[in-house]
């Protein structure tokens, strides 16, 4: 039996041999460097789980409580570690329970390989028990999918799956394996990782003439502005990005998935973009003369009204995915390619500058935002606790070194706005799809991916109830995840919209919660509930210092709104401070 440290060559040296498709699948995972798999067994994937019984030392399998929890855990693992996340599920409902996570992973460019069991090949199309056409179901939400009906197809299919998932713009891949293909034995000679697929070009060819044109635009700019996204992190180009920023002296703002690529306290980091982003970055988007977008896709939550977005600016767009160029915002100079390759080329050609007057404009807006919004959110004078002060206290205790995993809603925007990130791959959240229920399983996966770092899940009282069963996964594995529930007794973001745009017609947003501390206790997880400011810091300290997982429920003010805010359908320069 191979250990996970043995290279692919040893697979080749010990071949040829006869093995089942199920065993070959597990050996392929080891050859691809997989150490952890999240999953839930079922009838159609029993052969793989039977083979897994003999691989307990080589592969760590995490038994989740729901397949959606499994795929979100795989996402958290991938986002925290930079590796490909792997999840197993059975056919029918097991496979369809992966769909939300697949959609989430596709829009957020998360590399996953999902392996689903399927009914016997001769039963396909007969509406057999737990048969669904998972290939057609998942085609719109995967980067690639494929159904294996013969064991001999597995080595090539799995090699392609890992190559496609991790190369270029990453994404989720699904391999559906019929039960007979798992059981069949075949002559397995070698496993060869895939490095090329005809007609698939993961990264476009860099065109030096466009880099030169981009540098010329940047060098003549008086008010240049950089927007960066997760592409910097996915390309492992944090150092190259920092070098570009520091030489150019250009203020830079981030999308929520790009947070952490540049430390929060870097002097050129001017904050978050978008609907609940910082005041200066949004306002000055419509004043800059050159807009440099790096590894971001001009999502509607970033741009607001496109017909009023940065019309005065010349746009330089660096991206590995050519389909993103000109998709939403017209580009003056496109720079196709992996930013780890293109940024150094650009940095070499730009002039060293500092733009002091332009940077002063961002500082002026920041001062105004602090007075109007930030001071009251982080250091409130009211009796009730705010979400912002919880994050502020957490910052002081973790010093910005924790991985923060957020769910979706008001707490997500507060955490992304105010959490400190000293390191890349520290902000893990559901961006493009906005999936409630994401955080708890994703935090579990993140801790398995980076056991050396503290992981804190920040979740609302709505989102936690969508995947609360994954407390069982924590109980069984003993994984150390700190859980903060910010409980405002509302589906807060929907309530905010109903208050601001629907005359306070609070339609079905009041949500009752169980006693979370008691629920956690039932899963052998320690917990505490806090509603007084005097107890907040000591309770956070207790949580962080506790050996093992801990659930801290914090009762926060019920009707606090998240500002600044760009109302839907408005320009980014119409951002409201109150």
* HEC profile of 43-106: HHHHHHHHHHHHHCCCCEEEECCCHHHHHHHHHHHHHHHCCCEEEEECCCHHHHCCHHHHHHHH
Among 315, 296, 74, which Cα is nearest to 172's?
74
Phi, psi of 245 (to 5 degrees): -65, -45
Q: How far is CA 132 from CA 14, 90, 92, in A?
A: 38, 11, 5
Helix (H) or strand (E) holding 460: strand 455-460
Q: How far is CA 498 from CA 106, 231, 491, 568, in A?
A: 30, 34, 11, 13
Catalytic residue among 23, 67, 238, 377: 67
Among 309, 362, 283, which Cα is nearest to 575's?
283
Catalytic (active site) residue 353: no
Among 187, 119, 172, which Cα is nearest to 149's?
119
Contacts of 213 (CB under 8 A, 6+ apart): 333
Catalytic (active site) residue 241: no
User: Is residue 440 classed exposed, middle or buried when 0-12, 13-18 and 19+ CB atoms within 10 A define those classes?
Assistant: buried
Catalytic (active site) residue 68: no
Helical H segments across 370-437, by residue range: 375-378, 387-398, 410-418
Distance CA 457, CA 408 (A): 12
Catalytic residue among 2, 6, 12, 130: 130
Catalytic (active site) residue 179: yes
**55 Rama class: left (phi>0) / alpha (psi -120 to 50) / beta:** alpha
434, 104 contact by CB (below 8 A) = no
Terminal alpha carbon distance of the chain: 63
- Structure tokens, 181: 């293909």
Q: How far is CA 264 from CA 17, 268, 269, 395, 445, in A?
A: 53, 9, 6, 11, 24
Catalytic residue among 493, 496, 550, 565: 493
Strand order across the 112-118 sheet: 60-63, 36-39, 85-89, 112-118, 172-178, 144-148
Catalytic (active site) residue 67: yes
Catalytic residue among 9, 13, 14, 129: 129
Checking DSSP bridges between strand 36-39 and strand 85-89, what pairing results, if any? Answer: parallel
Helix (H) or strand (E) holding 333: strand 333-336
Among 470, 471, 286, which Cα is nearest to 365's?
286
* HEC profile of 337-348: CCHHHHHHHHHH
DSSP 331: -
Catalytic residue among 179, 340, 482, 528: 179
List residues with catalytic annotation. Answer: 67, 129-130, 179, 493
């Amino acid at each position: 039996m191979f250990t996970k440290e043995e290279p692919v060559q040893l697979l080749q040296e010990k071949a040829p041999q006869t093995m089942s498709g199920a065993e070959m699948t597990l050996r392929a995972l080891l050859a691809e460097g997989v150490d952890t798999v999240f999953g839930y067994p079922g009838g159609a994937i029993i052969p793989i789980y039977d083979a897994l019984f003999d691989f307990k030392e080589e592969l760590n399998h995490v038994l989740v409580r729901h397949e959606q929890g499994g795929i979100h855990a795989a996402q958290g693992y991938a986002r925290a570690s930079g590796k490909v996340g792997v999840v197993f599920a059975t056919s029918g409902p097991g496979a369809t329970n992966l769909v939300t996570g697949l959609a989430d992973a596709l829009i957020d460019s998360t590399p996953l390989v999902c392996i689903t069991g399927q009914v016997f090949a001769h039963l396909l199309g007969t509406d057999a028990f737990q048969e669904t056409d998972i290939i057609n179901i998942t085609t719109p939400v995967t980067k690639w999918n494929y159904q294996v009906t013969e064991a001999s197809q597995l080595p090539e299919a799995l090699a392609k799956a890992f190559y496609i998932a991790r190369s270029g713009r990453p994404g989720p891949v699904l391999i559906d394996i019929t039960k007979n293909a798992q059981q069949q034995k075949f002559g397995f000679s070698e496993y060869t990782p895939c490095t090329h697929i005809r007609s698939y070009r993961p990264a476009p060819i860099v065109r030096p003439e466009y880099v030169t044109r981009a540098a010329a635009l940047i060098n003549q700019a008086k008010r240049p502005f950089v927007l960066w996204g997760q592409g910097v992190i996915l390309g492992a180009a944090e150092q190259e990005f920092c070098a570009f920023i520091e030489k150019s002296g250009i203020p830079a703002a981030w999308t929520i998935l790009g947070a952490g690529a540049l430390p929060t306290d870097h002097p050129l980091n001017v904050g978050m973009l978008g609907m609940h982003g910082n005041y200066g970055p949004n306002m000055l988007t419509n004043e800059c003369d050159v807009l440099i977008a790096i590894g971001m896709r001009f999502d509607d939550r970033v741009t607001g009204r496109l017909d009023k977005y940065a019309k005065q600016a010349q746009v330089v767009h660096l991206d590995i995915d050519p389909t993103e160029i000109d998709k939403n915002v017209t580009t003056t100079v496109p720079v196709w390619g992996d930013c780890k390759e293109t940024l150094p080329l650009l940095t070499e050609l730009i002039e060293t500058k500092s733009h002091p007057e332009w940077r002063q404009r961002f500082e002026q807006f920041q001062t105004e935002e602090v007075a109007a919004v930030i001071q009251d959110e982080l250091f409130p004078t009211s009796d009730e606790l705010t979400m912002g002060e919880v994050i502020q206290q957490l910052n002081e205790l973790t010093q910005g070194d924790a991985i923060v995993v957020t769910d979706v809603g008001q707490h997500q925007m507060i955490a992304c706005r105010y959490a400190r990130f000293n390191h890349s791959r520290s902000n893990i959240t559901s961006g493009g799809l906005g999936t409630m229920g994401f955080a708890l399983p994703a935090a579990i996966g993140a801790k398995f991916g980076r056991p050396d770092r503290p992981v804190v899940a920040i979740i609302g009282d709505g989102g936690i109830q969508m995947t609360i069963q994954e407390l069982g996964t924590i109980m069984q594995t003993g994984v150390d995840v700190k859980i903060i529930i910010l409980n405002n007794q509302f589906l807060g973001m929907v309530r905010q919209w109903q208050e601001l745009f629907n005359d306070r017609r609070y339609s079905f947003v009041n949500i009752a919660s169980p006693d979370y501390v008691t629920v956690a206790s039932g899963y052998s997880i320690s917990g505490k509930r806090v509603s007084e400011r005097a107890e907040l810091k000591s309770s956070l300290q207790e949580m962080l210092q506790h050996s093992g997982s801990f659930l801290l429920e914090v009762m926060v003010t019920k009707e606090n709104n998240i500002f600044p805010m760009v109302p839907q359908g408005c320009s980014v320069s119409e951002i409201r401070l109150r």
